[in-house]
Structure 1
Amino acid sequence: MERKSRSRPHEEMSEDFNLWKDICTSLLRLEGIQKEEEAIINTINKIQLSINTEKGIPSMIRQKLKESYKRGIELSMNESKMIRDIIEKLSVLIALRDSGEQDLQKKKKRKTTLDTDTTSSNGIGNKSMTNHSPRYFPKGTTVAARQTKEKDKGEEWILAVVIQFIPEKNKYQVEDVDQDDYGQKQRYVLSPRYVLPVPTSEEAKSLPEIPVHRDVLALYPGTTCFYKAVVIAPPSKNKEIKNYRVQFDDDNDEVKYVMPEHVLEMPKL
Structure 2
Amino acid sequence: MASGSSSTAAAEARIKELLKELYHLIHEVQDERARGEHNLTNITKTHERMQAEQRISPYYKNKLRGLYTTAMQDAEAEAELLRRALDKIGEIKGIRENRRLGDSDRPKQILRRGVLMTMLQQNAVTLPLWVSKPGEKPPQLCGAVPADNNYVAKQGDKVAARVRGSDGEENWILAEVVSFSSSSNKYEVDDIDAEEDKERHTLSKRRIVPLPIWKANPETDPEALFPKDTLVLALYPQTTCFYRALIHEPPKRPQDDYWVLFEDTSYPEGYSPPLTVAQRYVIACKEDKSKK
Q: What TM-score results when the alignment is normalised by the length of structure 2?
A: 0.44
Asked which structure has the greater RCO (Cα within 8 Å, sep 6+), the reply is 1
Q: What TM-score results when the alignment is normalised by the length of structure 1?
A: 0.47
| Greater gyration radius | 1
